Structure 1
Amino acid sequence: MLRIDAHHHFWKLSRGDYSWLTSDLNVLYRDFLVSDIQPLLTQAKMDGTILVQAADTIEETHFMLELAAEHDWILGVVGWVDMEAANAPEVIRELSQNPKLVGIRPMIQDIENDEWMLQDNLRPAIQALIDNNLTLDLLVQPRHLPHLKTFLSRYPDLRAVIDHGAKPDIRNKAIETWSQHVGDIARTSNVCCKLSGLLTEASENAEIEDIAPYAFHILKCFGPERVMFGSDWPVLLLANTYQNWVDMVEQLTADLPQADWEAIFGGTAAKFYLTKTMETL
């Protein structure tokens, strides 16, 4: 089974479309490209990755697809499409012709309307994802979870994944409401969840004990067959290093059966994202 990092980013500042990326973010305010991550993947024994959008432009999607065409270990690209646009289904169909395009991700956390995902004008784009065998990454926060449950019930045929465990407020040890919503969503839908991004939601210098209750809840609710490891690199660098995060997740999952461990570290991501190419894996 391939060992897969199911969530990382690249960016090149001169491209000019990363509106959220400012000099205030210090360690992140520089280019992060292939040569930066390759040694980290080698050290962590990762066979491949899923490259995820970091800008809400179609130009960045094409930029990522170009990188994926040059590097076989970029197994798939999760791009961006204006899902409200009248031509969204056409754009999705066109992008789906590229075998490396595996899904799209709207930047829901940055949208002012918490109920945005429930708008009727998104239906054509969502149906196009279903029709073209593409996935939807859900970049949500705890405030979105009640609406997400409704959204997922409307589209039972949509293959979707929650990014970063829905970003629980680990810093303030807020777990009760988040855990209830996550449990409800896991029981009532087929959505997957990424074991990623938790360290950046915790306090500075957080340790494994700080994130363990949230990670274990994700594993309990979704099961290994619906959980996938992701680094969220280079955003991860705000909190810790790539290898330290890998080590933490390996420690958190050390007592699981081998088959479950393999699912979390690659099998789930392969089944979810790589349906176009599974026969070659």
Structure 2
Amino acid sequence: MIFDTHLHLIDRKRLSYPWLADVPDLNRDWSYADYEATARRIGITDVLHMEVDVAEADIEAETTFVAELMQRPCSLIRGAIAAARPESAGFAAWLERVDRRVVKGVRRVLHVVPDAVSQTALFRQNIAGLGAAGLPFDIVMLARQLPLARALVDACPDTVFVLDHCGVPDIAGGGFDTWAAQITELARRPNLYMKLSGVTAYTGGNWTLQTLRPWVDHILHQFGPDRIVWGSDSPVCTLHSNLGEWVASSHALLAALSEDDRNSLLHGNAQRIWKTAAQ
């Protein structure tokens, strides 16, 4: 079984995605039905929808969209990692009214705002509030921003964090050493988990299994299989691979783990972190 903790769905008739104009290869609809057809063939049994940086006015509409998908017969979707604005004074009120049957976690895209945003007192206060509410926060930052991620995690020790996409390493540029040092430091924070998700997108396109292995081996060594979850990052993973290739590569890269450790990484950890019931 595989729990995909990072699925993006795009419905341009219903929601607005301003950033898509700059990424023509992704600028189309990506439907649940198309994803589900492939996911069931390759062993994906459970899914969390990851917010897609919709226009701010559409944030709550995106959550409603996910809630409707959850109600489909035999739906794979177990909830949403919802968009929010922790830098806003209205965040606490949003957290009070949010539908916890749908919202299992929160993310704010942090590489599209000034670095200072995640370091403000209000942002940290609101992220600490997620910990009190029992909701994890996904961190998505570029590799150069990983010291900022470390500062945020340290400021909110009672909040569970998940670092998306292995910290967005510069695989194409060969930026291993600096990234690896930051990952080693981050792994010392017990409230931080790692997400093995869609790193083929950062390869520049000319990749093989051996291209990915040093990066994946490093997170396995530093975090261990009990602090890593898996995600597809579909459809972003399609920039330099496809969903089936990423699943097959993941299985190969994790083959040396015991069966129990693979099961934890690919499924069990996600159920525990996001408190989703077995289906």
Q: TM-score, normalised by structure 2?
A: 0.93
Of 82, 85, 110 in structure 2, the residue corresponding to residue 82 of structure 1 is 85
Task: Report what 2:44 is aligned to.
Answer: 46
Task: Report what 1:131 is aligned to.
Answer: 132
In structure 1, distance between residues paired with 2:124 and 2:258: 40
Offset of 1:74 from its aligned partner? 0.3
Q: Which amino acid aligns with 2:12?
A: L
Deviates more, 1:56-65 or 1:70-79: 56-65
Offset of 1:102 from its aligned partner? 0.4
In structure 2, distance between residues paired with 1:98 and 1:190: 21
Offset of 1:192 from its aligned partner? 0.5
Task: Report what 2:66 is aligned to.
Answer: 64
Query: Structure 1 residues 259 and 270 mapped into 2: Cα distance closer, same or farther (>3 Å)?
Result: same
Offset of 1:132 from its aligned partner? 1.7
Deviates more, 1:181-190 or 1:69-78: 69-78
Q: Which amino acid aligns with 1:87?
A: G
Comparing both chains, which one has the higher relative contact order based on Cα–Cα distances under 8 Å and sequence gaps of 6 or more?
1
In structure 2, distance between residues paired with 1:237 and 1:195: 16
Deviations 1:242-268 (A, max 9, x none): 111100010011111111100111111
Quick check: 1:7–1:230 contact (8 Å CA) kept in 2?
Answer: yes
Matches within 5 A, 1:154-193: 154-193=155-194
Matches within 5 A, 1:233-248: 233-248=234-249
Offset of 1:45 from its aligned partner? 1.1
Matches within 5 A, 1:146-161: 146-161=147-162
In structure 1, distance between residues paired with 2:190 and 2:234: 28
Task: Report what 1:30 is aligned to.
Answer: 28
Task: Report what 1:227 is aligned to.
Answer: 228
| Aligned residues: CA RMSD | 1.6
Deviations 1:95-137 (A, max 9, x none): 1x331210111010111x2232111011342233122211101
Offset of 1:228 from its aligned partner? 1.0
Percent identity between the aligned chains? 27
Deviates more, 1:32-41 or 1:69-78: 69-78
Deviations 1:33-89 (A, max 9, x none): 111101111111111111100024323233223322336310120011121222211
Task: Report what 2:8 is aligned to.
Answer: 9
Of 98, 107, 110 in structure 2, the residue corresponding to residue 108 of structure 1 is 110
Query: SS of the residue aligned with 1:109?
Result: coil
Deviations 1:136-161 (A, max 9, x none): 01011111111211211111110110
In structure 1, distance between residues paired with 2:234 and 2:70: 17
Quick check: 2:124–2:155 contact (8 Å CA) kept in 1?
Answer: no
Query: SS of the residue aligned with 1:117?
Result: helix
Query: SS of the residue aligned with 1:233?
Result: coil
Quick check: 2:118–2:124 contact (8 Å CA) kept in 1?
Answer: no
Task: Report what 2:19 is aligned to.
Answer: 20
Aligned length: 274
In structure 2, distance between residues paired with 1:81 and 1:244: 32
Deviates more, 1:57-66 or 1:147-156: 57-66
Offset of 1:16 from its aligned partner? 4.7
Unaligned runs of 5+ in 2: none
Query: Structure 1 residues 123 and 26 mapped into 2: Cα distance closer, same or farther (>3 Å)?
Result: closer
Of 92, 98, 106 in structure 1, the residue corresponding to residue 95 of structure 2 is 92
Query: Structure 1 residues 146 and 127 mapped into 2: Cα distance closer, same or farther (>3 Å)?
Result: closer
Deviations 1:152-211 (A, max 9, x none): 111111011000011000001111011001100101332011111210100213111111
Deviates more, 1:188-197 or 1:155-164: 188-197
